[in-house]
Amino acid sequence: MSATAHEHLHSQHLQQDVSERPQRTSPLLWLALIVVMFAGALMWLRFSNQEDVAPAPVGERMLPASETQVATAPAARNAAPASEQRKATPAVRNREASPLASNDKPTYPATALRNGVQGSVVASLNVDTRGNVTEASIVSRSGERSRDLDRSVLSTVQRWKFQPAMQNGRAVASVVRVPVDFRTEQR
C-alpha cells in the first residue's frame, strides 16, 4: 500500500470518528433542566393533597385568650361547604380551678380565739363546671382539733365561687384543696 493510499484511508477513518462523536451539551441547558425539574417538584408538592395539609401550629402563648368566637371572613365562609366548616373556639389553656378574689376568708371563731386554740385545716372542695362548690369536707388538721375551726372553714368555703378548671378548652369538674391557718399571732 502506498503512502497516499494509507493517508487516504486514515483520513476517511478520522472523518468517520469526528462525525460519530456526540455533540457537547451546553452547561446552560443542563442548568435550565435542573431548574425546571426543581420547579416542577415544588408545584407538585404544593398542589397535591392540599386538603390533607394541616396549618402550621401556633404556640399557645401567641394566641389571644378571648371568650368571644373569632369571626370568619365572608370569602372563607363561602369556600367550604357547611358540613366542613368548624366553629371557631377560643384558645384556652388547660388550667386548674381557682377561687375568685371576691370570696370571703374564713373568720377565726371568737370562742377558739378566746381559748387560744390554734391550728391548720385543709378542706377538699368539689367544684362543678360552673365554678360552684358542690361538696366540701375537711381532709386534714394540724394543731389542736376544734369543731369551731372546722365549721368556720366549711361554712365559708361552701359559698365560694371559682373559675372552673379547663381541659381541652372545656370547663370540667375538679377537686380543690384549700389550706387555712388559724394562729393567734395573726390577729
Tens of pLDDT, residue by residue over 138-164, are 999 888 888 888 999 999 999 999 999
pLDDT tens digits, 63-72? 344 443 444 4
The pLDDT-based confidence of 92 (bands split at 50, 70, 90) is low
Burial class (CB in 10 A: 0-12, 13-18, 19+), 143: middle
* pLDDT surpassing 50 at residue 126: yes
What the block records as the C-alpha cell of 164 is 372552673
Is residue 178 within 8 Å of residue 125, measured between CB atoms? Answer: yes
When pLDDT is averaged across residues 113-134 and rounded to a whole number, the result is: 91
| Percentage of residues of the chain with pLDDT beyond 90 | 28
What does the pLDDT read at residue 61?
37
Cell numbers placing 129:
363546671
pLDDT on residue 14: 55
Q: Report the alpha-carbon distance of residue 173 to residue 168 in Å, rounded.
A: 13
- Residue 64: per-residue pLDDT: 44
Res 46: pLDDT = 75
Local structure of 139: helix, strand or coil? strand
Following CA atoms 18, 21, 27, 29 in sequence, which dihedral angle do they give, to the nearest 10 degrees?
Answer: 110
Q: What is the mean pLDDT of the chain?
A: 75
Alpha helices by DSSP H, 24-116: 27-47, 74-79, 110-114
In this prediction, residue 161 carries a pLDDT of 93
Q: State pLDDT tens for residues 21-57.
A: 667 778 888 889 999 998 988 888 777 655 554 444 4
Q: Which fold has domain 98-186?
A: 3.30.1150
Which residue has better confidence, 167 or 70?
167
- The CA–CA distances, whole Å, from 172 to 32, 126, 163 equal 61, 11, 10
Q: Which pTM does this prediction carry?
A: 0.49
